[in-house]
Structure 1
């Protein structure tokens, strides 16, 4: 039986935690020590992370020592880098914070990169840009590469180049038995499958090697309209998106942004609709295609242009400052006119929607095709993703915004696949596990976890057992 977090914290003198400190090159902090709060705080301030101790690792061996120590003492270990997609129940007794694993090595001629688990996408994007290279990052470069990749990795280039998980060459990981392993398609192929899509269930990743693409520039950005014109624009977008060649990836978002200095005046203090677009082909052709959307209604702000790849964040314009939010999501197998009408009834102009963002991403293309090596990602057949983001400044606000999101999702139930991306609905219990994975994938993940973590040391693997 594992100890409760309270039991660990109240243990007399916590002498056994001091013994772990002596085994580390990094640092360990308990809740009463300076440094604890800054390390445990996730990006989403609405998610409390309260482990018995946080371990700021500096080396892969620090990770292994922590996992072995947890196993020796009947404890569990969690992991966090930036804290995007945090889930309170996954903190474990000992939360391993990987920010100190900051290695970055670019192999420009061979077009691949090696990174430590603490590296964010922004560092890689800026490091490879002088070589005319780019990476399959997410909608913001302010997230950790490892967390994004282990969840599959669906970003603004997904219809052209597929999932980031399919670009992985090798993974270095500490499994639940405390062993540091180098994983490739031919060495530990079962782990290579589980770590690409299974989030952290099969191990704590310490380093990742993956392929880059050649893309010094792109055509794209976002074109914004007043929310009053959303019905007409979305109606145009639906057919336009379905007809797009694979060189284009698109989404739309309904925004309710505050009247703040950092918000463009055209969008501040009003509801607007942004059509996001990234085109990897000839820029002139991309501009002509986007003109079809521009003609649907008066444009209030036009950000689309030829840009260096370092400007990739402008496509989605996601916030980077920590904030408290609730952000549930679903996947759809279609988005016909009736679905658009229902979405606007709950989230459009005059609906009274409390959400600050309601996003619909168009999928297909390379996203729908399996990579060379199988992954634990289960949602290639989905055609659209729907995400809502609502503020959660207090419990009442969080509950109200979550309830509204669920009503919106219920209105879209006719097209709901029942699934969700692991990065948008972190698997942590039986219900979330069954939404993140099909039964066959979940059974395979469970087998891998049992093989490499028979004691159940890694908190992130608990969902595989819960869903048995």
Structure 2
């Protein structure tokens, strides 16, 4: 362990004990190999680390949980924020101030006694700040919009090593760019977010066996065209390993998992999902009223770090032919094992936020994703993802940053996450706030020339 200026937190260089643990996140493919790691204790540690890196011309990356690693921080400075875990709830204002190392599970737990909830995502273990900076498609987003739409203020260290308190009034351009621009405009040390008056949901999962997958895709697609904005749902087609970590009825099967999150009452929720239940018998059916603190059980995503490759395409509509093509690509009997997920968008996500931000592709109706778990033999994974991209090319509206799980997200993929005018404005602001592209080990937006 070595000294690094005035930083109070731990500092690691290659070969130090603790270096590997500090650099490793949830995504284990393409791990970081930074020249220096700073495990920040507070905002001043972040500021001092950025100042030192800028003086040395060393690029900066930031990581909390490491779910969405876009580029390895090889040779750069990696700022790890996982110790910055403060959460302050203001129940009267319905806000929370959250540190850069906070995960959604902590915010959910601390907001719940006040009858409030954040616009959190499907996995409670994801970092709340990075999720929000990338837009944030949550369990209630058709009702309440993107998580970024509910941010009140941002504390961030910019490339000039200044710690700034950014609001729509103090710096509307930087506020706009930070929310949607992810890590391109500074290292965010905390956010103030709005909370929602939600204590419970009608939600859960309906799991169907392989023979019903075509019917599930067809019925769910048509059903999404009829449901109110209070209903947010998705469907995942996935091969379930035959291991004890999964419920016995699912093990070794290829299943369709329909995920339901409805903010209305349970009686209406039961009525709304009746057409889905009518498809046929479920292997598992957990849909019912639940406290919001149990909302992570809806998607029930594995909490164990792993190596994976994922991409996504936002589309306007999901026609029957496309659903059939997705089944042929990665459904039962397909040569390559992968997870296909389709999320229903629209609703409040399609509406302009009260305070503008840079989140793109709001006009998309669905988000189609492909995830491949990587192992000793990854033969065919790249080709599968290429076929996936080609399959959706004709109907693509763009991509979503938070679902571009690296490593090695391409410039074209990042550009596709925004409308052309939004990307142009982001590049111009990047030239203003970070002209040397100090913050480039991310979903990078290069400064305009």
TM-score, normalised by the number of residues in structure 2: 0.96
Pairing partner for 2:390 from 394, 410, 416: 410
Give, in whole Å, the separation in 2 of the partners of 1:283 and 1:91: 50
The offset of 1:91, in angstroms, is: 5.6
Aligned 8 A contact 2:28 2:305 in 1: yes
Give, in whole Å, the separation in 1 of the partners of 2:301 and 2:371: 11
Listed one character per residue, the Cα deviations across residues 197-249 of structure 1 (whole Å, up to 9, x for unaligned) are 11100110001100000111110111111111111121111111111001101
Note if 1:149 corresponds to 2:132.
Answer: yes
Pairing partner for 2:203 from 194, 213, 220: 220
Give, in whole Å, the separation in 2 of the partners of 1:353 and 1:285: 39
The secondary structure found in structure 1 opposite 2:371 is: strand
**Shift in alpha-carbon separation, 1:461–1:301, aligned structure 2, 3 A:** closer
TM-score, normalised by the number of residues in structure 1: 0.92
Question: C-alpha root-mean-square deviation of aligned residues, in Å?
Answer: 1.7
Give, in whole Å, the separation in 2 of the partners of 1:340 and 1:462: 29
Pairing partner for 1:244 from 227, 247, 252: 227
**Shift in alpha-carbon separation, 1:161–1:263, aligned structure 2, 3 A:** same
Greater helix content:
1
The residue aligned with 1:125 is: 108
The residue aligned with 2:431 is: 450
The residue aligned with 1:7 is: none
Listed one character per residue, the Cα deviations across residues 301-360 of structure 1 (whole Å, up to 9, x for unaligned) are 1010100101111111111110111111111111011111111111222223311x2100
Listed one character per residue, the Cα deviations across residues 71-130 of structure 1 (whole Å, up to 9, x for unaligned) are 111211111111010123456611000112111111112211001100000001011111
Superposed, 1:173-192 pairs within 5 Å as: 173-192=156-175
Superposed, 1:330-409 pairs within 5 Å as: 330-355=313-338, 357-394=339-376, 396-397=377-378, 399-409=379-389
Aligned 8 A contact 1:77 1:92 in 2: no
Give, in whole Å, the separation in 1 of the partners of 2:416 and 2:25: 23
**Shift in alpha-carbon separation, 1:154–1:346, aligned structure 2, 3 A:** same
The offset of 1:467, in angstroms, is: 7.7
**Shift in alpha-carbon separation, 1:205–1:92, aligned structure 2, 3 A:** farther
Give, in whole Å, the separation in 2 of the partners of 1:467 and 1:436: 17
Aligned 8 A contact 1:431 1:467 in 2: no
Aligned 8 A contact 1:132 1:215 in 2: yes
The secondary structure found in structure 2 opposite 1:193 is: helix
- For structure 1, the residue ranges without an aligned partner over 5 or more in a row are 1-16
Q: How many residues align?
A: 447
Give, in whole Å, the separation in 2 of the partners of 1:324 and 1:390: 9
Superposed, 1:68-217 pairs within 5 Å as: 68-90=51-73, 93-217=76-200
The residue aligned with 1:424 is: 403
The residue aligned with 2:248 is: 265
- For structure 2, the residue ranges without an aligned partner over 5 or more in a row are none
The offset of 1:381, in angstroms, is: 0.7
Pairing partner for 2:237 from 254, 274, 278: 254
Give, in whole Å, the separation in 2 of the partners of 1:288 and 1:462: 42
Give, in whole Å, the separation in 2 of the partners of 1:226 and 1:352: 18
Moved more, 424-433 or 204-213: 424-433
The secondary structure found in structure 2 opposite 1:266 is: helix
